[in-house]
Structure 1
Amino acid sequence: MPSDKLVRGWLFLSLAVVGIPGNIAVIVAFLLLILQECFLLAADAIVLHLAFANLLVVLVRCLLEALASFRLANVFGDVGCKAVIFIYRTSRALSIWLTFLLSAYQCLSIAPPGSSWASARVLVAQNLPAVFFILWVLHTSMSVGAVLFSVSSRNYTAMTTSAVNAEFCYVNFRSDVLKEAYGAIQVSRDVVPMALMTLTSLIILVLLYKHSQHLKGLRGSGSAGAGSSGAEQRAAKVVVVLVTVYVVLYGVDNGFWVYTLTVRNTLSSSLISDLRVFFASLYAALSPLVIIASNRKVNGRLRCVAQERPLLGKTARLRSI
């Protein structure tokens, strides 16, 4: 096996090993919360959908490409390429927009009570199912181009100079104009939420600073502290961390995509495509670790599950005796 494919396989396998159990753990924790409390807060519902989208990203690209690199399995025929790239593009876009939605909602959550922002938060929470539905419909429809243009690399002789090499698949655009137009749509789909979530994160930081200054003033005057919004403050800080990770990794990803669009004859090497997928998937693999480490609800449910397993094992052994 060539050394470059071996390195590629291990890199994607490492993301799958981290990202798959991490996102599954977050999903299981929130499902347990639903079973116990019969409802989810709006922010928790957004995180649950984000974990599901990230799980799809890691499964369809990292795991499948790692298996193909090691020649253990290969689903990358024409139909497989269309399905994998379609699911990857859709789930990747959902991951981006759900991260923005989470940052926007947390920004509204720490806004001063009684303001118009507080009423906007209630409106978002009440219409969250409709927001999820719109995001799914929008991004599945925008990923249709993957079905039209994706083919297996086994058919490389039919490629045009406008094709994009994705190692096991090609995105075979019929002309440079079509390639640039489709690429511009993909870039705008990423850059718009990137700019918006950066703005909301800056607003969150400003509000957190004002809140800390207000608490200092209360302590200085000897008044009783106002710590009722501590959980929202912690959640807002976590969102800022997630957005920072997103902006760095997806910024690199989009930089490589712009390079692919502007440099001619990128057909010969899949290195740029591999780097794009790696950096985009890195967010999907790392974000559940941030959520598990910082979200008390997820942490608490996972600890309960971990503590119940030994107890169940002891009970089973006692019964057998």
Structure 2
Amino acid sequence: MSSQEFVRGMLYLTLTVVGIPGNVAVILAFLLLLYQEKRLLPADAIVLHLACANLLVVSVRCLLETLASFHLATIFGDVGCKAVIFVYRTSRSLSIWLTFVMSAYQCLCIVPPGSRWVSVRAQVAHYLGLLFLFLWLLNTSMSSAAILFSFSTPTNSSLMKNTINVQFCYVHFPSMLSIEANGAAQVGRDVVPMALMTLASLILLVFLYKHSQQVKGLRSSRGGGGAGGGYGVRGGADQRAAKAVVTLVALYVVLYGVDNGLWVYTLTVRQTMKSSLISDLRIFFSSLYAALSPMVIIASNRKVNGRLRCVAQEKAVH
């Protein structure tokens, strides 16, 4: 095993060790909540779905890349390459869209009771299942190129043009135009939810800033901290939710910039196909969100945190 393979394997192993337990913990916490309360709130259902998508990203890509890097399993044949790249691209883009849905729904949750957006929130909650189905169909259809153009590493790979090297697999396109078209479609698929989630986060911060100013004004006019106690409880919950959403959005925006900057580099620099370093970096940074986001959810979501603590305490007692 070369030093490059070892470093590569350790990077993916780190994502696997962090991402799989974190996402599994979030999923189990919400399943326990569903078992105890017989239902999930729409916001909880969105976070649960996000954790499932992130688990797919880390398991299908990072775990399998780790096994292959350390030569523990041979899974990247033609069928394996098509399946891994297709599921990875679908689940990663689904994770991005669900992050936008989470931030948008959080905006709807803090609107005043008499606002017309209350009815929109009710409609979103009512048709949440159909929204999940639509996102699955959208992202599955946009990842179909992986099934057509992915295959295992050939012996004469250095002679092929219009090919992207992803270490254990190749994605070969018929022409440079098809590479650029596929790249533009992927970037567009990511840019739309990124722009929308950024806008939703800004609106969320404006709402919370105004709310905090109102609470401060109410407390100062009543001459005591206890007079606005009811507002303080609600404001604290809103602040925690806002910080979680803004942190997730900021995390994605930063990693998105690195990922797509590397993608543009692969389109503008020749002979990129001969080295898999750029593709390795792209996969690492694009998978980093799926590995780190459950840490943010566990730290900020009291329902998840509380269930995990209860499970840990029960194990300690037994």
Counterpart among 241, 244, 250 of residue 244 in structure 1: 250
Deviation for aligned residue 1:116 = 1.6
* Distance in structure 2 (CA, Å) of the matches to 1:29 and 1:233: 22
Are 1:255 and 2:240 matched, yes or no?
no
Percent identity (aligned) = 70
SS of the aligned residue for 1:74 comes to coil
Residue 214 of structure 2 is matched in structure 1 by 214
SS of the aligned residue for 2:154 comes to helix
Distance 1:195 1:159, change over 3 A: farther
Residue 133 of structure 2 is matched in structure 1 by 133
* Distance in structure 1 (CA, Å) of the matches to 2:179 and 2:304: 42
Which TM-score applies when normalising by structure 2? 0.95
SS of the aligned residue for 1:221 comes to helix
Residue 266 of structure 1 is matched in structure 2 by 272
Deviation for aligned residue 1:113 = 2.1
Contact 1:253 1:279 in 2 (8 A): yes
* Distance in structure 2 (CA, Å) of the matches to 1:292 and 1:175: 45
SS of the aligned residue for 1:254 comes to helix
Deviation for aligned residue 1:262 = 2.7
Residue 281 of structure 1 is matched in structure 2 by 287
Contact 2:208 2:238 in 1 (8 A): no
* Distance in structure 1 (CA, Å) of the matches to 2:87 and 2:95: 12
Q: Please identify, of 139-148 and 260-269, the stretch whose mean Cα deviation from structure 2 is larger.
A: 260-269
* Distance in structure 2 (CA, Å) of the matches to 1:167 and 1:156: 14
Deviation for aligned residue 1:259 = 1.6
Runs of 4+ in 1 over 4 A off after TM superposition: none
Residue 168 of structure 1 is matched in structure 2 by 168
Distance 1:156 1:206, change over 3 A: farther
SS of the aligned residue for 1:148 comes to helix
Residue 56 of structure 2 is matched in structure 1 by 56
Residue 43 of structure 1 is matched in structure 2 by 43
* Distance in structure 2 (CA, Å) of the matches to 1:88 and 1:267: 20
Distance 1:217 1:28, change over 3 A: same
Show CA shifts across 1:273-311 (max 9, x none). 101110011110000011111110001101111111133
Residue 82 of structure 2 is matched in structure 1 by 82
**Number of residues of Structure 1 aligned to a counterpart in Structure 2:** 312
Deviation for aligned residue 1:142 = 1.0
Show CA shifts across 1:100-157 (max 9, x none). 0001111111122211222211111111001000001111111110000001013544
Counterpart among 229, 235, 239 of residue 234 in structure 2: 229
* Distance in structure 1 (CA, Å) of the matches to 2:114 and 2:239: 18
Show CA shifts across 1:30-67 (max 9, x none). 00000000111111100000000000000111111011
* Distance in structure 2 (CA, Å) of the matches to 1:155 and 1:78: 14
Matching residue's letter, 1:272: I
Residue 65 of structure 1 is matched in structure 2 by 65
Contact 1:106 1:232 in 2 (8 A): no
* Distance in structure 2 (CA, Å) of the matches to 1:262 and 1:195: 25
| Structure 1: 5+ residue stretches without partners | 314-321
Q: Please identify, of 297-306 and 263-272, the stretch whose mean Cα deviation from structure 2 is larger.
A: 263-272
Matching residue's letter, 1:81: C
Residue 319 of structure 1 is matched in structure 2 by none
* Distance in structure 2 (CA, Å) of the matches to 1:227 and 1:48: 28
* Distance in structure 2 (CA, Å) of the matches to 1:289 and 1:234: 14
* Distance in structure 1 (CA, Å) of the matches to 2:130 and 2:239: 27
* Distance in structure 2 (CA, Å) of the matches to 1:222 and 1:12: 56
Show CA shifts across 1:59-80 (max 9, x none). 1111110110000112101000
Deviation for aligned residue 1:159 = 6.1
* Distance in structure 1 (CA, Å) of the matches to 2:68 and 2:165: 16
Structure 1 vs Structure 2 CA RMSD: 1.4
Residue 147 of structure 1 is matched in structure 2 by 147
Distance 1:41 1:159, change over 3 A: farther
Are 1:309 and 2:318 matched, yes or no?
no
Are 1:198 and 2:181 matched, yes or no?
no
